Structure 1
Amino acid sequence: MWASIQRELALLGHRSFAVDLPGHGLDAQYPVAYQAPQDLDAWAQEPSTLAGTTLRDNADVVVEAVRRLAAHGPVVLVGASLGGTAISVAGNLVPELIDRLVYLSAWSCVEKANPIEYFGEPEFAANLMGPLAALNVGDPAALGVGRANYRTADPELLAKLKAATMADVTDEQFRAFLNILQPDESLAVMTGDARVEADTWGTIPRSYIRLTEDRSLPIAMQDRLIAEADALTPGNPYDVHTLDSSHAGFVFRAAEVAAVLAGLPV
């Protein structure tokens, strides 16, 4: 998903590295039952390779990449959406190796342990994720993962998913993006303790890129996360930037995102 932004960063003279978290990228699981024609009953019973993968597992992969990259120069660590939890824990673990953290409409948990705990808060009320429960396949408690059928052909579900995630792009762009999404996400990742620590994470310079049209992680919640972190470390507040983009639509605004990243002090 970072390919378009990496291209723009390269054109600006910057090296970048995209981290595939466990069970994603070329290690992602795409069972035959998920293909077309789909067998949803069989897929609902398919064990997940992500079951039991923890937030710490994700963070450890990020930390290993940071350790290797730090040998070649300053490291600016960027996370989007749920990826914010992995870079937060990495910041807790190796603050001395990270020169700047960047949250792109991402979860930086302070008062509550994880995104799930924030879902019931008033700042989350404008999200459009509720109807998307109809995308779920199988029993998350039994599978250990949330499993979303991104290959659905249901026009109503597709319209709701687009409204929640990428309302500002064309239908063709939206469908292209869906085809890079891996359907499973570990419950242990989503419910792990992602709270940041003032004496480690809080010492790293940090930036937040707000997405004003985000209906998955609403702007009010983004602003709450910024405010909570700034209250935790008032001497080291977020450097804040704003784009009028949807939650994932920023991948089609790569030049703008790359310009913000390239302009950050290191």
Structure 2
Amino acid sequence: MQNLPTFVFVHGAFANSFSFAPLQAELALLGHRSVAVDLPGHGFEATFPASYQAPQDLAALAEEPGSIKGVTLADNAARVIDVLERAKRNGPTVLVGHSRGGITITAAANARPELIDRIVYVSAWCPVELDVSDYYTQPEMADVDARAFVATLVGNPAGLGLLRTNFRTADPVALAAFKQAFAADLTDDEFRAFLNTFQPDENLDAGTSADRAQAGSWGRIPRTYVRLTGDASVPPAVQDRMIREADALTPGNPFDVRTLEGSHLRWLVRPQPAAELLASLAAR
């Protein structure tokens, strides 16, 4: 075990370390150690107001404070760096980010590349030429359906100092839009089970141009991009664009590109193929 890497997993928006439990179990059965990070204000640090419970009081929920208010991308990166420092004592590390977690692992790699032996993006944001908010205005994102988030947004983000989404909605239109965006290829039960692991609050700071991938630090780390072919929230076209931009930034160290079939969440709900793919990276 000493020479095998430790996988360090970083979740996306509204998610937490619990998302990775089935994947970690599969990796353990293949002989690999791993740790899943809860970013600040996530997991057991999250706020679940009483007004979020049933029966919901959406008016009260729109005013309730949340622990994630004021959390920055720098705070997220610092949390990951602390875990990497501890994991590095046991040997190599492989840092894996999903979805919005890609922003965090990029920031951590910009700051402390020596702690990371390989960085892996699984349908994750890897901002190179644009800020993440600007990628949403690009043609590759034109077909992304944001109706569910708009319909279930609670309160004023500027006033709350955070993003709050009602994932416990019973609105069939919103639920159908969530399923299409995240988990079109999962059963309804699998989709609702995963939806109930989400937390209502997310921080507002998604980084600036200073947090994009930097050639002199991030660009030195061997890297892999795992494309998800059926992802409707981070479509393959935008995944491929980020790969191209990163490869142009550091042509001597291009992405090792892998592909998994399925939606944004399928690889976590049915994790054996993903575990085998990651294990093959550890063997390298």
Aligned residue runs from structure 1 range 80-159, under 5 A:
80-113=98-131, 115-159=132-176
Post-superposition Cα deviations, 1:184-203, rounded to whole Å, max 9, x if no partner, equal 11112x24453010000000
Measured after TM superposition, the shift of residue 253 of structure 1 is 2.5
The one-letter amino acid paired with 1:101 is: I
Give the counterpart of 2:231 among 214, 228, 231.
Answer: 214
- 1:18 aligns with 36
Does the Cα contact within 8 Å between 1:31 and 1:43 map onto a contact in 2? Answer: yes
Task: Look up the SS of the partner of 2:144 in the other structure.
Answer: coil
CA distance in 2, matches of 1:131, 1:172: 18
Does the Cα contact within 8 Å between 1:54 and 1:192 map onto a contact in 2? Answer: no
The aligned length equals 264
- 2:57 aligns with 39
Give the counterpart of 2:95 among 58, 77, 96.
Answer: 77
CA distance in 1, matches of 2:148, 2:272: 32
Does the Cα contact within 8 Å between 1:210 and 1:240 map onto a contact in 2? Answer: yes
Does the Cα contact within 8 Å between 1:78 and 1:104 map onto a contact in 2? Answer: yes
* In the alignment, structure 1 residue 197 sits paired with structure 2 residue 198: no
Post-superposition Cα deviations, 1:219-251, rounded to whole Å, max 9, x if no partner, equal 100000000000000000000111121112211
Structure 2 unaligned regions, length at least 5: 1-18
> Is the deviation greater in 170-179 or in 243-252?
243-252
Structure 1 unaligned regions, length at least 5: none
CA distance in 1, matches of 2:97, 2:159: 29
State the Cα RMSD in Å: 1.1
- 1:28 aligns with 46
CA distance in 1, matches of 2:242, 2:228: 13
Does the Cα contact within 8 Å between 1:55 and 1:192 map onto a contact in 2? Answer: no
Does the Cα contact within 8 Å between 2:128 and 2:242 map onto a contact in 1? Answer: yes
Post-superposition Cα deviations, 1:53-79, rounded to whole Å, max 9, x if no partner, equal 100100000000000000101000000
Task: Look up the SS of the partner of 2:212 in the other structure.
Answer: coil
Task: Look up the SS of the partner of 1:109 in the other structure.
Answer: coil
Does the Cα contact within 8 Å between 2:223 and 2:255 map onto a contact in 1? Answer: yes
CA distance in 2, matches of 1:192, 1:20: 22
CA distance in 2, matches of 1:154, 1:250: 26
CA distance in 1, matches of 2:231, 2:48: 28
- 1:61 aligns with 79
Task: Look up the SS of the partner of 2:107 in the other structure.
Answer: helix
Alignment identity in percent?
A: 54
CA distance in 2, matches of 1:53, 1:110: 23
The one-letter amino acid paired with 1:105 is: S
CA distance in 1, matches of 2:224, 2:275: 14
* In the alignment, structure 1 residue 163 sits paired with structure 2 residue 180: yes
CA distance in 1, matches of 2:169, 2:148: 14
Does the Cα contact within 8 Å between 1:78 and 1:103 map onto a contact in 2? Answer: yes
CA distance in 1, matches of 2:268, 2:157: 29
Does the Cα contact within 8 Å between 2:148 and 2:175 map onto a contact in 1? Answer: no
Measured after TM superposition, the shift of residue 3 of structure 1 is 0.4
> Is the deviation greater in 222-231 or in 129-138?
129-138
TM score, norm. by length of structure 1: 0.97
Does the Cα contact within 8 Å between 1:145 and 1:187 map onto a contact in 2? Answer: yes
